[in-house]
Chains A and B, each alone.
Chain A
Amino acid sequence: MAEIRAEMVANVWKVVAAEGDHVDDGDTLVILESMKMEIPVLAESAGTVTLHVAEGDVVQEGDLIADVG
């Protein structure tokens, strides 16, 4: 199980992957927005997605965004 965490304080702009989706390494899971910049958050391995955020949420640095496993 790989944990995907936020690298910075940001708003969750778009959730791209759906709960339970199978993703590959490099697929976009969610798109964060911080300081007028869009920051795609990518899967770092293949697996099934468990999401921990919803669109409109604010995440702090280090918060869990998703598990892929």
Chain B
Amino acid sequence: MLNSVLVANRGEIARRVIRTARRMGIRAVAVYSDADADLPYVREADQAVRIGPAPPASSYLDAAAIIEAAGQTGAAAVHPGYGFLAENADFARQVMAAGLTWIGPDPAAIEQMGDKIRARNLMERAGVPVSPGSREPVTDVAAALAEADRIGYPVMVKAAAGGGGIGMGVAAGPADLQAAFETARSRAERFFGSPEILLERYVQRARHVEVQILGLADGRVLALGERDCSVQRRHQKVAEETPSPGVSAALREQMLAAAVQAGEAVGYRGAGTVECLVDTDAGSFVFLEMNTRLQVEHPVTELVTGIDLVEQQFLIAAGQPPSFDPATVTSVGHALELRIYAEDPVRFLPGPGTITQWDEPEGDGIRVDAGYQAGNTVTPFYDPLLAKLCLYGADRDQALERARKAVAAFAIAGPKTNLAFHAELLTSPEFVSGDYDTSLISRLRPS
């Protein structure tokens, strides 16, 4: 088994990975920037190394500094968390070249899935349904107009190397396409270092549903159920749940089978997520993208299956079988995740600040994965996720009821938070009915 791991991340996910590592007797090494020296994950690690100043490019994206920290502390493995370098194949190769174990899939699988155009083409060949869209990069406005004519409006314009909803835009017709294309291209260059753009048919009433997969050390690929991530603002997730209230048993079976095919097509190893769009009117789904790392919202899967996904990542990376019997995995009950962001609850604009009060709710079925505590400062350098408030219930009604009470009991003062938005979401008839889609927030917040 691995005896030590460096967690190349920060905040709630670093803390969560460190927790499982320590439970398994694996020595955990944290890395931190100057902005994060006081965060709980730094203290909870067995050892912590400063890797640079606050801007991500000088710290959490500095591959050399991270590998040097692993060398200094004698760490045997690197867990990348999500974001930052988690889906950077070159970083994975550097980790392995330094003689360390990479807690993630083969770099070739990261590369194949990281380019959205290549991933779509590969999935189409593997028999996984994809939406009408680009088979090669769209390089200028004229090509985008021709491609959109072929695909049919409305179209989604996005960065081939992108993620996290950044730079994505919808064009209803040729008049909107030029602006959507130029915005997507400038953000693609800035955030992802590649100007490649693709177009896909945009589905009006869609749910965003993803499947958790796990590629075992023996080569088998398992699907561990789905998560519904349709509650989004600016194409970014705000709340998730499992099982999806909008997926029938028959559709679920097809989606899980397609996710396994997707994983097998790239020889996937470790935890990954196959994201799909479900057309609520047609009752069909298409492949969207695959995330080749642990997903932010993985706790909802853990709550209904009882499986610790980080533990499986460590076991698989060490070439060992999982801690559970793949033949008898069952999903029981219902789980929700509410992302507590440092942002105002009306316009969702960032609101960093120093935390003067931080009181987490406690009780049956409540799990809080938090990155901060009272006295910490939330800075503008990183994403706004403060904590993930996760709820388990025997059924959806119980999970929702627990969620309402937990949101009311969560007291955070200092930065702005979206807790008031969650209180509103949990009582909105559309969300409570389960019959909602990715436009839910735009209906709650008509601009």
Contacts and interface: CB of A to CB of B under 8 A. Distances in A.
Contacts of A8: 349-352, 380
B382 interface: yes
Nearest to A38: B187
B379 A9 contact: yes
* Secondary structure call for the B interface: loop
A7 B383 CA distance: 17
Interface string B333-359: 000000000110000011111000000
A11 B380 CA distance: 7
B379 to A, nearest CB: 7
B383 A36 contact: yes
Interface of B: 164, 166, 234, 342-343, 349-353, 379-384
A34 interface: yes
Task: Please classify how large the interface on chain A is, using the bins under 10, 10 to 19, 20 to 34, 35 or more.
Answer: 10 to 19
A8 B379 CA distance: 11
B352 A35 contact: yes
Interface of A: 7-11, 33-37, 39, 58, 61
Nearest to B351: A8
A33 B166 CA distance: 13
A55 to B, nearest CB: 13
Nearest to A58: B380
A7 B416 CA distance: 12
A26 to B, nearest CB: 15
A37 B164 CA distance: 11
A8 B350 CA distance: 7
B6 to A, nearest CB: 24
Contacts, number: 40
B383 A35 contact: yes
B273 to A, nearest CB: 20
Nearest to B167: A38
A33 B349 contact: no
A35 B166 contact: no
Contacts of A61: 353
Nearest to B342: A35
B445 to A, nearest CB: 16
Given A35-B342, A35-B343, A9 B349 contact: no
A9 B383 contact: no
B166 A9 contact: no
B382 A7 contact: no
A39 B350 contact: yes
A33 B382 CA distance: 10
A20 B148 CA distance: 41
Given A9-B352, A34-B380, 7 more contacts: A7-B349, A8-B352, A8-B380, A35-B352, A36-B166, A36-B384, A37-B350
A9 B350 CA distance: 8
Contacts of A35: 342-343, 350, 352, 380-384
A20 B166 CA distance: 33
Nearest to A32: B380
A61 B379 CA distance: 12
A36 B382 contact: yes
A39 B349 contact: yes
Contacts of B384: 35-37
A36 B343 CA distance: 12
Contacts of A34: 350, 352, 380
Contacts of A11: 380-381
Contacts of B342: 35
A9 B384 CA distance: 12
14 contacts: A8-B349, A8-B351, A8-B352, A9-B352, A9-B380, A10-B350, A34-B350, A34-B380, A35-B381, A35-B382, A35-B384, A36-B382, A37-B350, A39-B350
A11 B166 CA distance: 18
A64 B379 CA distance: 19
B354 to A, nearest CB: 10
**Most chain B CB atoms below 10 A, which of A7, A10, A33, A34:** A34
Contacts of B350: 8, 10, 34-35, 37, 39
Nearest to A11: B380
